Amino acid sequence: MKQSKSLISLEDLTKEEIIKLMDLTTMIKHDQLYSMELLKNKSIGLVFQKPSNRTRVSFEVGISQMSGNCVYLGPEEINLGVRESTSDVAKTLSRYLDGIVARTFTHQDVVDLAKHADIPIINGLSDLYHPCQALTDIFSIKERLQRLENITVAYIGDGNNVCHSLMLACAKVGIHINIATPKNYEPDQAIVDTALKYAQETGANIKVTQSPEEAIEKSDVIYSDVWVSMGQEEENAKRINDFDKYQINEELVKLANPNYIFMHCLPAHRGQEVTEEIIDGEHSIVFDQAENRLHTQKAVLNFLFNTWGAF
């Protein structure tokens, strides 16, 4: 019988677990907790169906730093559901590996891996969610602002997987979030409804609007993402036109609180969703945010293997 705990979306975590993960991330980042032996004699597979910079490198480095062995399996080795059924892949890899980080086009592939595997599965990104990124984002906000209370995040752009997970993370810990997207690019309504349910428990406010000005007014955090994600290249011209008024620039950020921070999950397209002045300016924490992927994911691995008994 399957006994492993997986991280498929932030619905898998309670508010208390998220807070513990952030505390653990702080300890790992500042060397307050010895982590070198966490994955000793363990092998973690990276099953990636699409290219990656931060997700792949941060997991590979983190696993190595914790004395684990990392096995990268790209689409040329494993093409889920094409070369071999996802269930067969999950059952086979469970005999070799101690855990899997999956980066897939369709969220159902991650769900099916978790359903059929006997080892922990971590969602490294799917078309619906990006939970590791959102955990890093919440940690980065707390690290920079030194609190989670009375914070408003303005997410400006596509209602995509990053938006979904960030919204759930904010709702779970009590951060207010305003989401501004063009018409027909709103976040999935079922996920919005789920976030609203969590928000009722934590006191978070969630607003979805088509006005970037309304979303960004008096915000503490401004968050942007690319307008054209992997797999959407054929929509490039249409999307650039549709998102034209959603660029984060000097004029728009004047509506935010003076000490706002700017965040972006990267990669960024300077001159499209954000100007160079903003992403490279004094308010930007995008590279602190990128670094924190390493520390947060080491905390996630501890959560799944529970080596230190923190959960």
Residue of 49, 170, 225, 272 with catalytic role = 225
* 103 is an active site residue: yes
In this structure, what token pair is assigned to residue 55?
């997700």
* 130 is an active site residue: yes
* 132 is an active site residue: no
Q: What is the DSSP letter of 33?
A: S
| Short-list 204, 214, 212, 225, CA closest to 152 | 204
Residue of 56, 116, 130, 295 with catalytic role = 130
Residue of 54, 265, 295, 297 with catalytic role = 265
Which residues share a beta bridge with 270? 274
Residue of 103, 116, 164, 239 with catalytic role = 103
The Cα 213–Cα 63 span in angstroms is 42
- Identify the burial level of 100 via C-beta atoms within 10 angstroms of its C-beta, where 0-12 means exposed, 13-18 middle and 19 or more buried: buried
- Identify the burial level of 3 via C-beta atoms within 10 angstroms of its C-beta, where 0-12 means exposed, 13-18 middle and 19 or more buried: exposed
* 133 is an active site residue: yes
Tokens 């997986």 -> residue:
6
Residue of 56, 107, 239, 293 with catalytic role = 293
* 147 is an active site residue: no
Residue of 112, 132, 133, 164 with catalytic role = 133
The Cα 265–Cα 9 span in angstroms is 17
* 265 is an active site residue: yes
Query: In the chain, what is the greatest distance between 2 CA atoms, to the nearest angstrom?
Result: 57
The Cα 128–Cα 224 span in angstroms is 17
**Contacts for 49-53: CB closer than 8 Å, 24+ residues apart:** 49/74, 49/75, 49/79, 49/80, 49/103, 49/104, 49/105, 49/109, 50/75, 50/103, 50/104, 50/105, 50/125, 50/230, 50/231, 51/230, 52/103, 52/124, 52/125, 53/266, 53/267
The Cα 4–Cα 218 span in angstroms is 43
| Short-list 74, 34, 10, 3, CA closest to 300 | 10
Active site residues: 103, 130, 133, 225, 265, 293
